[in-house]
Amino acid sequence: MDDRIEISLLMDFYGKLLTEKQRLILEQYYNMDLSLSEIAENQNTSRQAIHDLIKRCYRTLTDYEEKLNLLANSIKDEEVKDQLRTLLTEKNCYCSEIEKLLVEL
């Protein structure tokens, strides 16, 4: 998965667990596509400090995901829903197949 997409999804799930400053900087970097220098100027700090904060936040978000698996479970749920939609639109849909997928949810 592309890093920017992964971070964006992780922020959707775990962003509220970060500080306001951390969220702001991640949003500026990943969503607004500002450079480290631009963010550093906005925050009155060094480029290196912003770089370190972004890396630390990334590790924090991935640690949350390793422990809670919210993103992985969400992706799995979407895959099961897609399979269910496919089965329901096919002519020869068997109830046992649908029941098996529903158990996975």
Burial 57-86 (b: 16+ CB within 10 A, else e): bbeebeebbeeeeebeeeeeeeebeeebee
Contact present, 28 and 39 (Cβ < 8 Å)? yes
Q: Would you state the pLDDT for residue 85?
A: 76
What is the arithmetic mean of pLDDT over 7-17?
A: 94
Output 93 or 73, whichever has higher pLDDT. 73
What is the arithmetic mean of pLDDT over 49-63?
A: 97
Determine the number of helices (DSSP H) and then strands (DSSP E) in the chain: 6, 0
Q: Would you state the pLDDT for residue 81?
A: 83
Alpha-carbon torsion, ordered 64, 51, 41, 13, to 10 deg = -20
